[in-house]
Amino acid sequence: MKNISAKIIFGLLSLVVMLAVISLSVCAETSQETATNDTPVVTTEVVTTEEITVVETVASEPVDTAPSETQAAGEETDASTSQEEGALNVDFTPSNFVANLKYMAAGMAGIFIVIGAIVLCIVILGKVTDRKSNDEE
Amino acid sequence: MEFLNLLSGLIPKSFDWRQIVMWIIGGVLIYLAIKKEMEPTLLLPIGFGAILVNLPVLGDLPALQELYNAGIATELFPLILFIGIGAMIDFGPLLSNPKLMIFGAAAQFGIFFTLCLASMFFAPNDAASIAIIGAADGPTAIVVADKLNSQYLPAIMVAAYSYMALVPLIQPPVIKALTTKKERMIRMPYTQKNVSKTTRILFPIIITVIAGIAAPSSVELVGFLMFGNLIRECGVLDSLSETAQKVLANLVTIFLGISIATTMRYDAFLRIETLLILGLGLFAFIFDTAGGVLFAKLLNVFLPKDKKINPMIGAAGISAFPMSGRIVHKMGLKEDPTNFLLMHSIGVNVSGQIASVIAGGLILNFFM
């Protein structure tokens, strides 16, 4: 009975943590969309005249585009918006979890291989030193 | 009037309410360090430093900044601390039963799982730096986060050291949730094997060579750790070994703690991302524990009845030495007062130290 309640508690705690993480990410997405829609798009043109480089900045009406396009076009404004107080400076990209599974596989395989090599060396070393001490005796 | 002008000149112009919040956080860290004795060697200087750097002064504190540049930005302090840590560790229990090292490897699962989770929210370098909280090793976390230029170093440090101190609270519920009473009562008899001095001397050298070849980015961390151990085991440098274990480790710990605090300015620390990082760090510890325990259970499927492994020792594979080993031993005694798991759990715990450093090196290999 105790084991079952421990499992239930553990499951509930995991659920709460996951919900907190997801809700934070939803807030992040919402605040990013709000920042995108409200902020005028700033386009920057670089004009080079002989040795003088002039950067002309033109503000235009906000355009309802995909977040990535807006980010590319309005990089400066988005950067300043995202650094405002309380704004969440993260992008929720669930596909990255799957994309990074390869690192998990490679990392775990790498650790086991390295540790396996170390264990093998220690076992061989132990046998060699044991043999030497037996010969001396 | 002149007097009032003089008095008003004393009032700091740059004052933010968030600085008061940081004073409170610093106070909480100091309270935890002193009253609850949670990693006081680091939480106390970090807590005090958090108050110090958030006082309304003009500009940065040059002395602290110099300390940070000299010791943290160059990764010198954590590496020197590793010499002291290496000198403190006795690899004897591990060398007498080297197969225990595989549990140290399994218990690093949480690092890579957290990497996948964190990558959903953060850039790759930040996600990797957050994941290394699961190494349960402060110097490794500092070195990795610094090399990857993570902007969340202060939050990562506070998370790493706080969770290391919270291991007695985090691990037992996870272990109990994943094991049955019968499994926790599995006895593992310990037969003491003498480990030759040659083995003890060659061990740190072999580890350094293997880790350096397999994970070159970890060679600094592994090298300094093993150098400390070599000083201890060689038998001809007792005074250096004692200095490394006590004076050097304590001195560097003081500087490390106060230097880390320079990054705890309110504008860098009081962000919603800090909460997310604390949550992900907790996940890393939980899945580290789960990884070790579940691996032991998996092995038990293939082992004969009289050679079963107590799955709790898998949980000791994190780098929180010697706390994790003692926790597993106590949990074993609780189930069966005649079941002594200490030598096995400490052996696994020690292997976790090595495995966590190798994991850090692999993370650097992937993302640098």
pLDDT tens by residue, B121-153: 999 999 999 999 999 888 899 899 989 999 888
| Cβ–Cβ gap B115/A104 under 8 Å | yes
Is the distance from CB of B360 to CB of B79 less than 8 angstroms? no
Which residues lie closer than 8 Å to B279 by C-beta, 6 or more apart? A17, A20, A21
- The pLDDT, as a whole number, for residue A128 is 83
Identify all chain B residues contacting A137, using CB atoms and an 8 Å cutoff: none
- The pLDDT, as a whole number, for residue A80 is 39
Question: What is the mean predicted confidence (pLDDT) over B156-185?
Answer: 89
A64 Cα to chain B: minimum distance (Å): 24
Query: Which residue in B112, B210, B275 is closest to A121 by CB distance?
Result: B210
Calculate the CA B292 to chain-centre distance: 17
Weakest mean pLDDT among A114-118, B55-59, B253-257, B325-329: B55-59
- The pLDDT, as a whole number, for residue A54 is 45
Calculate the CA B274 to chain-centre distance: 18
- The pLDDT, as a whole number, for residue A12 is 55
Which residues lie closer than 8 Å to B290 by C-beta, 6 or more apart? B109, B110, B174, B178
Weakest mean pLDDT among B13-17, B34-38, B194-198, B326-330: B13-17
* Alpha carbon distance A114, B354 (integer Å): 10
How many CB atoms are closer than 10 A to CB B274? Answer: 17
| Cβ–Cβ gap A117/B279 under 8 Å | no
Question: What is the mean predicted confidence (pLDDT) over B62-84?
Answer: 88
- The pLDDT, as a whole number, for residue B184 is 92
Q: Which of A9, A24, A111, A113 to mutate to test the interface with B (most CBs of B within 10 A)?
A: A111
Is the distance from CB of B19 to CB of B56 less than 8 angstroms? yes
| Cβ–Cβ gap A118/B111 under 8 Å | no
* Alpha carbon distance B248, B108 (integer Å): 28
HEC assignment per residue over chain A: CHHHHHHHHHHHHHHHHHHHHHHHHHHHHHHHHHHHHHCCCEEEEEEEECCEEEEEEEECCCCCCCHHHHHHHCHHHHHHHHCCCCCCCCCCCCHHHHHCHHHHHHHHHHHHHHHHHHHHHHHHHHHHHHHHHHHHC
Kindly tell me if the per-residue pLDDT of B11 is higher than 70.
no
Q: Which two tokens stand for residue B4?
A: 């009032």
Write out pLDDT tens, residues B265-307.
Answer: 888 888 888 889 999 999 999 999 999 999 999 999 998 888 8
Of all residues in chain A, the one with the smallest CA distance to B122 is: A90
* Alpha carbon distance A9, A19 (integer Å): 15
| Cβ–Cβ gap A28/B121 under 8 Å | yes
Percent of chain B exceeding pLDDT 70 equals 96
Q: Is B229 exposed, middle or buried (0-12, 13-18, 19+ CB in 10 A)?
A: buried
Instruction: Give the DSSP H/E element, type plus range, for residue B216.
Output: none
Give, for all 137 residues of chain A, the pLDDT tens digit: 445 555 555 555 555 555 555 445 444 444 445 544 544 444 444 444 444 444 444 444 444 443 344 333 333 333 333 444 445 567 888 899 999 999 999 999 999 999 999 999 888 888 888 776 666 65
| Cβ–Cβ gap A93/B120 under 8 Å | yes
Nearest to B245 by CA among B93, B81, B92: B81
Instruction: Give the DSSP H/E element, type plus range, for residue B202.
Output: helix B197-214
A42 Cα to chain B: minimum distance (Å): 24
- Indicate the average pLDDT of chain B: 88
* Alpha carbon distance B29, B35 (integer Å): 10
Is the distance from CB of B129 to CB of B119 less than 8 angstroms? no
| Cβ–Cβ gap A108/B108 under 8 Å | yes
